Chain A
Amino acid sequence: MATVKTIVMRAPGTNRDEETAFAFRQVGATAETVHVGELISGTKRLADYQVLAFPGGFSYGDDLGAGRVQANELILKLADEVHPFIERGGLIIGACNGFQVLVKAGILPGPLGTGQTATLTNNDSGRFECRWVYLAANKKSRCIFTQGLELICAPVAHGEGKFVAPPEVMDAVDVALYYADAAGNPSTSYPACPSGSLRAIAGITDATGHIFGLMPHPEDNIHRQHHPHWTRREAELAGSGLKIFRNAVDWVKGS
């Protein structure tokens, strides 16, 4: 099997693109960070890649709501690229701002074409917060990225991370990751669930399990020393974010 090719898409204001690419390389993929303009102009084609990553940051400053402007750009200017990529089963991961983009573009929870049916809105605290959280994987989820995972941890760093949707959408959504306490029980209480996200939702997937969005940053927990308690020798989940990237690469290799 040839090397798995990942494209990390960035727009003005995107960050964490470098460490996202680094995480994919750590698990044997190639990873290229590509400016959205290169896709719009056709210099780069999504058809050449198997995994598409939308990293964190503040695309276009998040001036009109987190991810909104990039989401519109995706639907209005890149539909010809994105739709075929999704239809042929390409893997997509969006973390933090990337998740906000996918939700506001209506790609998550999906299916494509239904428009925006959920949102990520202001944290209950009204604040941007950076802190480490535990994430419990939903074993029933179809999500390819979280297969075989139980408990991992990662930092969040956002002000708009509260997942909200009408009841009928909430009931249908495939939750891949829940905010949890240290024992792995899903929790909506602060600070285990820093945003106050409904039903402790930290990450979701679409009906195929190929598209995954989450607010925390697994790319910032791929090394022993990332873990906040590594100096206490209580860091059994150190580096546990890497499994998400490995799952994606393994799945592409196996398919």
Chain B
Amino acid sequence: MICAIEVSLKPGLPDPRGESVARGIRDLGIDKDIIAHTCDIYWLEGDVSFNELKRIALSLLADPIVQDYRLDPPPEPDTPTRHSLIVTYNPGVTDPIEDTMKKAIGDLGISAVTAVKTASRYILSGALADDEVKTIAARLLVNPIIQRTVVSAPTDFPICPRYEFCLLNVDLLGVSEAELLRLGREYSLSPLEVKAVAAHYRKQGRNPTDVELETIAQTWSEHCVHKTFKARFNYDGQLIDNLLKNTIMGATQELNKSWCLSVFEDNAGVIEFDDEWAVCFKVETHNHPSAIEPYGGAATGVGGVVRDVMGTGLSARPVANTDVFAFGPPDLPNAALPEGMLHPRRIFKGVRAGVADYGNRLGIPTVNGAVVFDERYTANPLVFCGTVGLLPKALAQRGSHHPGDLVVLAGGRTGRDGIHGVTFASEQLTRASTELSFASVQIGNAIVEKKVMDALMACREKRLFSRITDCGGGGLSSAVGEMAEDTGVRVYLERVPLKYAGLSYSEIWISESQERMLLAVPPENIDELLAIFAAESSEATVIGEFTDDKRLCLYYQDNLVADLEMTFLHKGRPPLDLEAVWQPPVCREPDIKPATNLGGSLLKILAAWNVCSKEWVIRQYDHEVQGGSVLKPLVGRLSDGPGDAAIIRPVLSSSKGLIIACGLSPRYGDLDPYWMAASAIDEALRQVVAVGGSLERVALLDNFCWGNVRDSASLGALVRAAQACRDMSLAYGTPFISGKDSLNNEYEHAGRRISIPPTLLISAMAIMPDSARAVSMDFKQPGSLIYLVGETFNELGGSEYFALHNEIGVRVPRVDALRSKKLMGKLSCAIGLGLVRACHDLSEGGLGVAIAEMAFAGGLGAEIGLDGVPRDNIERDDIILFSESNSRFLVEVAPGGRVAFEETMAGSACGLIGRITDGMDLKITGLGGGDVVNLPISELKEAWQHPLRW
């Protein structure tokens, strides 16, 4: 029987959750006086006595000071001015609260509760029409992928049917070519690939089992092998065999830095931090899941990249997170929203909450990130999650296991998460699945992951495992298959702990349930390792052993269900041949009449979505936890200015710092992906230098998010961007250590293909010998001199200034890396000498935005003249003020440091353009001698803060 406990705030108390719902209703355009309240509902299954229920309510669910509870409240019919909606998870969605409740009810000594479900009740008071209530439910409160509304408590919880074993083979040998190709599509294998599989099995004289075919499809998927990047490209007649090796990885090899400890071979790239420690960094995307279920998708994105780091070397401890998002514009009119898509604003809010809730719960500071907007991201939002980890230098290399070592699956249980019906033979769906199969989206459970992390660190101390990897996309299939490539493995699938009954052997093998890690453990260590996991109340189970026969053998209840040769699995994929062409777009430089006063343009650019303050996001992340914070994401007099890069001290007893930065400029990609990529790299490096770092020890990461790669022009853009990565990496002497790609981000709407702009995120980490040398971007002292370092060109292509005029232009910012490297070297030297009091890099919005940000972050005015700007033959104020040329910095120097600073910068472009005042205005004098900007910094700051003050 099911009992309900409903918990609500005591009357009269402020209800922030309700207020947030009411705000959301107003954001939907329902402009009525609505008061919203929320209640938490708990449904308990079991033979629970009234007294036990009361005890659970009183001592566990309702806070006696601020909350009331009701047991089995009678239904209250809606009235025209009061509507009540109960929202609960769909069956099959794993609700993290269930586990906690079972534990806590057990602590109370109550054993009668057999299962728990939760729901929320929203009570909306005010005159709402029925269709408005429906809109509120659909667009604000319910995501049908994971949730639904119900009218009352359930009468029972669905029971999972048991699974009965039945081995399934897939007929590849006896079918027509057309049927073979159809099967290929069903398993996401290309015609060439599925034919190679059929040929392989013809030699064996048998058909594959379903799980063998799944394993091959998984192993050969874009996600697992990055086949596009490794393909043979015909690029305008030039043959590039393996784009990755020829560009990004090639540059790293050529640079051959001794401090690169492990690159492009493990779950994250690893570099040396000091004599004892190493640091690793990985950035992943979680785009599609975030588009359909922003909160859960983004949360599991964080969870996944954190596991990558825990699965690097012999396990790293996560010390910092980064996040970068790309969304459609938050003010997109509802009419422009493609059918079936969530509004960008809702995606943004959901993603932010998912990243924050998961990262905060793991106790990892989120220290750096960015948010960019473009209408083309509406249906394909991008969510990049990065994690930096710390591990002993001696454990930096990927581990090596031996035949006889045990296969241990640790952490969360396995369910149908991430399994999509389409990859399944239809027969199987009817046999083994209930409606549970269709609800394959998971709400992450950060605490399960935290427990694995704590257990792993204890096991690492004692060196109890010989190798480790994460179990995420691709599930056990990918994790076990990769780990056992050089040995062989036997796995007993019925040993895998399940969330619920009814999973077939195939489902167990390919499930993408979160919070799982895979370890190789020498048999003599297994008891100690299992004891440590038990002590951290984290599950760990021996599911098989490594062999020496180079075969992947899977058993289910003593039945052999897969027997695959590792060589075929990992080397049997036919190479991919791709055609790539590049043709520059046909654009023209717009004819914009320069205004005499540029203050209005500056205010509008400060308020542009791409430029405006992201404090609303940053504040809700914990950026202090772990106690290593040196330079925070928000800096300045009131801690609300936009810091360039973050600095942490990952080893608390050391003053050595780690700088974390990122660069991306998707808008330039429309003009030329080569300079888009070069600009992103330059931006990340500028941020490193601006906070006091140098190019001495900088490692880069690439994350390509691209449109349709079956399109040769899109592939041409990819080649150009990859070539820029190689060229810049070599010129700057900054190796790439890891990367990832997410391709085919495209959507069809109203008969039109909408592809995301080619987007390359560059993440950088740099070692800083003494973090006490750091500088922040806020102006410090009236009277200080302001220098512009670096040369300004007429480069407004893809700029915010042109966007303001709905133009894109032609002249995209370029990078002269050799010249820029010298300039950055001198600036690093000046900062190291203590000559620089503030430094800020110039990016979107150019000089105008950078000077405004430095002024209002420091709470000080400034007077500058555009005639002092080092420039290439530009005689227009607007171009000088808003050009987005790369490799430029604004620098504050105390008057007494003038000579030393100028000497240090000698030979590089560096112009004294003005000084900091003790007034509260920003005054910019144009080439003609008149003011082109004269505005109070408070007005500039308000323009910048207002848009995302949500």
Binding site for B on A (CB under 8 A): 10, 12-16, 18-19, 22-23, 35, 37-38, 56-58, 60-61, 63-65, 68-69, 72-73, 76-77, 104, 115-119, 121-132, 155, 157, 164-166, 196, 217, 219-220, 222-226, 228-229, 231-233
Can you name 19 A-B residue pairings with CB atoms under 8 Å? Answer: A12-B447, A13-B451, A16-B625, A19-B627, A35-B454, A38-B535, A60-B447, A61-B447, A64-B97, A77-B107, A116-B64, A122-B17, A126-B20, A166-B65, A220-B625, A220-B629, A225-B649, A225-B774, A232-B780
CB distance from B18 to the nearest CB of A (A): 9
The reply on B256 being an interface residue by CB < 8 A is no
Cβ distance B823 to chain A, nearest Cβ, rounded Å: 22
CB distance from A50 to the nearest CB of B (A): 23
Contacts of B620 in A (CB 8 A): 127-130
Q: Which residue of B lies closest to A125 (CB)?
A: B16
Residue pair B64, A225 in contact (C-beta under 8 Å): no
Q: How far is it, in angstroms, between the C-alpha of A124 and the C-alpha of B59 when the chains are bound? A: 24
Measured between beta carbons, the chain A residues less than 8 angstroms from B100 are 60-61, 63-64, 69
Q: Which residue of A lies closest to B643 (CB)?
A: A231
| B→A interface (CB under 8 Å) | 14, 16-17, 19-20, 59-61, 63-66, 96-97, 100-101, 103-104, 107-109, 356, 360-363, 445-447, 450-451, 454, 535-537, 619-627, 629-632, 635-637, 639, 649, 652-653, 771-772, 774-776, 778, 780
Provide the bound-state CA to CA distance between A217 and B623, in Å: 12
Q: Binding site of A, secondary structure by majority: helix, strand, loop or mixed?
A: mixed
Whether A64 and B451, one on each chain, are in contact in the complex, defined by CB atoms closer than 8 angstroms, is no
Residue contact A232 to B361, C-beta cutoff 8 Å? no
What residue of chain B has the Cβ atom nearest to residue A234's Cβ?
B637
Contacts of B104 in A (CB 8 A): 60, 64, 68-69, 72
B39–chain A nearest beta-carbon distance, Å: 14
- Cα of A35 to Cα of B20 in the assembled complex, Å: 37
When distances are taken between beta carbons in the complex, the residues of chain A under 8 Å from B771 are: 225
Q: Which of A22, A124, A126 contacts B627 (CB 8 A)?
A: A22
Taking a contact as CB atoms under 8 Å apart, the answer to whether B17 and A58 are in contact is no
Closest residue of chain A to B618 (Cβ to Cβ) is A130
| Residues of chain B contacted by A119 (CB below 8 angstroms) | 63-66
Given that A37-B537, A38-B535 are contacting pairs, would A63 and B627 also be in contact in the complex, using a CB cutoff of 8 Å?
no
> Which residues does chain A contribute within 8 Å of B653, judged by CB atoms?
22
Contacting B108 at CB < 8 Å: which of A37, A76, A117, A232? A76
Judge whether A164 and B65 touch: CB under 8 Å: yes
Whether the Cβ atoms of B624 and A18 lie closer than 8 Å is no
A35-B535, A125-B16, A231-B631 given; A16·B626 CB < 8 A: yes
A58 near B65: Cβ-Cβ < 8 Å: no
The residue from B64, B107, B445 contacting A61, defined by CB atoms under 8 A apart? B445
Whole-angstrom distance between the Cβ of A158 and the nearest chain B Cβ: 9
Shortest beta-carbon distance from B340 to chain A in Å = 30
A233 to B778 Cα, complex, angstroms: 12
Check if B63 sits within 8 Å of A123, measured CB to CB: no
Instruction: Using CB atoms, name the residue of chain A closest to B631.
Output: A231
Q: A58-B360, A63-B100 are in contact. Are A126 and B535 (CB under 8 A)?
A: no
Q: Are A58 and B637 in contact (CB under 8 A)?
A: no
Q: Are A19 and B66 within 8 A (Cβ)?
A: no
Chain A residues whose C-beta falls within 8 Å of the C-beta of B362 in the assembled complex = 15
Contact B65 A130 (CB under 8 A): no
B619 near A130 with CB under 8 A, answer: yes
Query: For residue A22, which residues in chain B have a CB less than 8 angstroms away from its CB?
Result: 627, 652-653
Report whether A12 and B619 are in contact in the complex, using a CB–CB cutoff of 8 Å.
Answer: no
Given A64-B61, A69-B104, A123 and B16 contact (CB-CB distance below 8 Å)? yes
**A131 lies within 8 A of B637 (CB):** no
Residue of A63, A126, A165 with most partner-chain B CB within 10 A: A63
Q: Which of A19, A124, A155, A233 sits near B652, CB closer than 8 Å?
A: A19
Pairwise interchain contact B652-A13, C-beta atoms closer than 8 A: no
Other-chain contact of A68, B60, B446, B625 (Cβ < 8 Å) = B60
Do the beta carbons of B619 and A131 come within 8 Å of each other? yes
Q: Nearest Cβ in chain A — how far from B505, in angstroms?
A: 31
Do A72 and B363 touch (CB < 8 A)? no
B690 CB → nearest A CB, Å: 12
CB pair A72 B108 closer than 8 Å: yes
- Select B65's contact among A116, A123, A157, beta carbons within 8 Å: A116
| A56–chain B nearest beta-carbon distance, Å | 7
CA of A56 to CA of B622, assembled, Å: 12
Q: Which of B97, B361, B624, B775 contacts A231 (CB 8 A)?
A: B775
CA–CA, A218 and B213, complex, Å: 56
Cβ-defined contact, B637 with A157, below 8 A: no
Given contacts A58-B361, A69-B103, 11 further A-B contacts (CB under 8 A): A15-B363, A18-B626, A37-B537, A61-B97, A76-B108, A121-B65, A127-B16, A129-B620, A132-B639, A220-B625, A220-B629
Q: Give the residues in chain B near A69, CB-CB below 8 Å.
A: 60, 100, 103-104, 107
Q: Tell me if A126 and B17 are in contact (CB < 8 A).
A: yes
The distance in angstroms between the C-alpha atoms of A129 and B16, with both chains bound, is 14
**A215, B715: Cα distance in complex, Å:** 53
Answer whether A37 and B535 are a contact pair too, CB < 8 Å, given A61-B446, A232-B780. Answer: yes
Assembly CA distance A231 to B61 (angstroms): 46
Q: Cβ of A64 and Cβ of B60 under 8 Å apart?
A: yes
